[in-house]
Amino acid sequence: MSMSERKLTPDLFRPANLGTGKGEEITKPSLSFWQDAFRRLKKNRAAMLGLFAIVFIIVFSLIAPSLSKYGMDDQELMRANLPPKIPGLEKIGFLGVDGVDIRGVDQYEMKNVPTEDKFWFGTDPLGRDQWVRVWKGTQISLYIAFLAATIDLIVGVAYGGVSAFYGGRVDDAMQRVVEILVGIPNLVVIILFIIILDPGILSITLALVITGWIGMSRIVRAQILSLKNREFVLASKTLGSTNGRLITKHLLPNTLGAIIVTSTFTIPGAIFFEAFLSFIGLGIQPPTASLGALIADGFRSLRIYPHLAIYPASIMCILMISFNLLGDGLRDALDPKMRK
Amino acid sequence: MLRYITKRVFAMFLTLLIIATITFFLMKLLPGSPFNNQEKLTESQRYALNEKYGLNDPVPVQYINYLGKLAQGDLGYTFQFDGRTVNSMIANGMGPSATVGFEALLFGTLVGLILGIAAALKHNSFIDYGAMVMAVFGIAIPSFVFAGLLQYYVGVKLGWLPVAFWNGPEYHIMPAFSLSVGVIATVARFMRTEMLEILGTDYILMARSKGISKQAVIIKHCVRNSMIPIITILGPMAIGLITGSLVIENIFAIPGIGEQFVKSINLNDYPVIMGTTLFYSFLIIVIILVVDILYGIIDPRIRVAGGKS
């Protein structure tokens, strides 16, 4: 209101000094492609929410296990199958974190657990702290996913890049190989691989990578094929750039958007397949556990001890949704043309 | 077109041959022998058993024999039960698996189409956002997590539907629904994008300006044209359904191929693993082939574009 009441007097104004060329001056700093993309991403609330959730879960999975005094495989049968109990929140009944199981028995009292012992996510049938296991499992799931995505990225970019850049007979030969590999269902390859190699973090990652890089290589190839005949590449070539310089300075940076988006979608895919393998008994072997293995174990006693499955399942759902939201947001921000 | 189909069919058989070869040699690489308690067998018994299953032949001969049998559609014997063939196990599991898969596909596509069309027609409204949030959830949440939670809340806590097994129509609802979630989400998202694109085209404006009612334009022009590209996602969707069925059948104890497959993985029943793997590969490859050919027939624009590249 005060704005409209203020008197406007002529002495408040001063003529602008219009020198030569002043009108041509660009006042706003020009944004680079990445600044612009980041600005667009920041506007997308869903994607930012996903990004925060991912960062939060990653940070938490790293620090959370040290908040408990128990390790990943500290067994104690005396305190098996305890329901969750969180100090502070235990008074609020409907949250279900008061140490009372579904039959209404306070398991902590019944099993004579020392009062200072409170298991935030409860304990599993061997008396291991579920809190530690869930966050360690998150770590392992994320580790497998990021490792698989990184290897996919390196192999895919190299293969697709070489295939497109050298073209001709090289491209033909390399694409024939891809055509055959694409025809083989990855479900089949992954299962066969795990049966041959013993299930472990590395073999699961390998199995995921063995077919996973193809998608990346196809996208990179398509991008580089369309880029390499553009004028700016030709100009650089005429100025005497080496192939290495062309690739690292011109072709790859322009493909980076598509690469990032594809990688963001590779990660939830890898998390899903790892969990899927755990579910059919080919995943990480005990005592280590991934999110998928924990969920699979938890489902076995879902009726009596729902807390064993609910927490890892929720974290997994949040992770998957967040990566999908972030991926969608990145795609919109980096490549408006790819919008779907 | 005929040349294209011949080429594709030929490539399909080549891929199958490669898969069969890989499976065969990978299985040969595995340590141990298929027989239980083999320490207790005498030399001659072991010899007789090996002779019976053709394991005394050199590996290349075994490979040729294996391919020969495969060409006749014979997948060998299972180790779990005496004298039962893998073929009969797959045939037994086929019924329930195909039923659940088909129900999920049908239900998922229908609901997905409706959601996608509604979202596109009410663009940027509450319905649109609601449908898209549901779609993100449906794509992101693994079907087995969803199935487990559904089983717990609807089956155990509320007791509305049977928790597991396969004894009648009411047993189909939960498994088919859990499988269809991914399909609903994919179809809804796809349909929305396609519809929005087509709603903005000139020929829709043209049809409207000629005085055709809104409903008629939407049904006859928009929906029909938007549905063509849906065929392209049928392939990936079928793969998703097969992957999902492996775990869904286990969660709901449905006596299908997926359940059998997982059981034989845990029992190291190699002939069944090999046979089912080949069966799945065959299924997926044929589906993708059929989808590609169908697409070429339905939409001539694709054929022209595809011919060049």
The total of structural domains in chain A comes to: 1
- pLDDT, residue B308, reads 37
- Assess whether the previous peptide bond of B236 is cis (omega < 30° from 0): no
A246 contact partners, CB below 8 Å, separation of at least 6: A233, A236, A237
DSSP-based three-state secondary structure for A100: strand
- pLDDT, residue A80, reads 65
Q: B252-282 pLDDT, tens per residue?
A: 888 888 888 888 877 777 778 888 888 888 8
Does A303 reside within a domain?
A: yes
Is a pLDDT exceeding 90 seen at residue B30?
A: no
Pairs of CB atoms within 8 A across A/B: 102
A196 and B29 within 8 Å at the Cβ level: the answer is yes
Beta bridge partners of B214: none
Does A182 reside within a domain?
A: yes
A184 and B15 within 8 Å at the Cβ level: the answer is yes
Of the candidates A340, A159, A187, A152, which has an alpha carbon nearest to the alpha carbon of residue A264?
A152
- Rounded to an integer, the average pLDDT of B173-193 is 89
- CA A301 – CA A292 distance, rounded (Å): 15
A52 contact partners, CB below 8 Å, separation of at least 6: none
Q: Is A140 exposed, middle or buried (0-12, 13-18, 19+ CB in 10 A)?
A: buried
B247 and A302 within 8 Å at the Cβ level: the answer is no
Is a pLDDT exceeding 50 seen at residue B305?
A: no
Q: What pLDDT band is residue A1 in, cutting at 50, 70 and 90?
A: very low
Mean pLDDT taken over chain A: 79
- CA B75 – CA B84 distance, rounded (Å): 11
Phi-psi region of B32 (alpha: psi -120 to 50; beta: other; left: phi over 0): left
CA dihedral B289, B293, B299, B305 (to 10 degrees): 80
Does A187 reside within a domain?
A: yes
Q: How big is the CA angle at A96 (ends A93 and A102), to the nearest 5 degrees? A: 110
What are B86's two structure tokens?
Answer: 């893998």
- pLDDT, residue B307, reads 42
Between B178 and B166, whose confidence is greater?
B178
Q: What pLDDT band is residue B193 in, cutting at 50, 70 and 90?
A: confident
CATH for A239: 1.10.3720.10
Give me Rg for the CA atoms of chain A: 28
Q: B204-215 pLDDT, tens per residue?
A: 889 889 988 888
- pLDDT, residue A106, reads 66
Is a pLDDT exceeding 50 seen at residue A299?
A: yes
Contacts of B18 in chain A (CB under 8 A): 180, 184
Does A289 reside within a domain?
A: yes
- CA A318 – CA B253 distance, rounded (Å): 28
Does A16 reside within a domain?
A: no
- pLDDT, residue A55, reads 92
- pLDDT, residue A89, reads 61
Burial B40-71 (b: 16+ CB within 10 A, else e): eeeeeebeebeeebeeeeeeeebbeebeeebe
B22 and A281 within 8 Å at the Cβ level: the answer is no
ipTM of the complex: 0.77
User: By the CB < 8 Å criterion, does B78 face chain A?
Assistant: no
User: Are the beta carbons of A282 and B265 closer than 8 angstroms?
Assistant: yes
Between A13 and B52, whose confidence is greater?
A13
- pLDDT, residue A104, reads 63
Burial B270-280 (b: 16+ CB within 10 A, else e): bbbbbbbbbbb
Q: What pLDDT band is residue B39 in, cutting at 50, 70 and 90?
A: low
Considering only the beta carbons, identify the residue of B151, B189, B265 that sits closest to A280: B265
Q: What pLDDT band is residue B111 in, cutting at 50, 70 and 90?
A: very high
Does A214 reside within a domain?
A: yes
Domain that holds residue A54: 48-68+134-338
Does A328 reside within a domain?
A: yes
Q: A49-97 pLDDT, tens per residue?
A: 889 999 999 998 888 777 777 766 666 666 666 667 666 666 555 556 6
Q: What pLDDT band is residue B107 in, cutting at 50, 70 and 90?
A: very high
- pLDDT, residue A174, reads 85
Does A224 reside within a domain?
A: yes
Q: A104-160 pLDDT, tens per residue?
A: 666 666 666 666 666 677 777 776 777 888 888 888 889 989 999 999 999 999 998
User: By the CB < 8 Å criterion, does A38 face chain B?
Assistant: no
B152 and A303 within 8 Å at the Cβ level: the answer is yes
Cα–Cα separations (whole angstroms), residue B186 to B17, B80, B109, B308: 32, 38, 9, 29
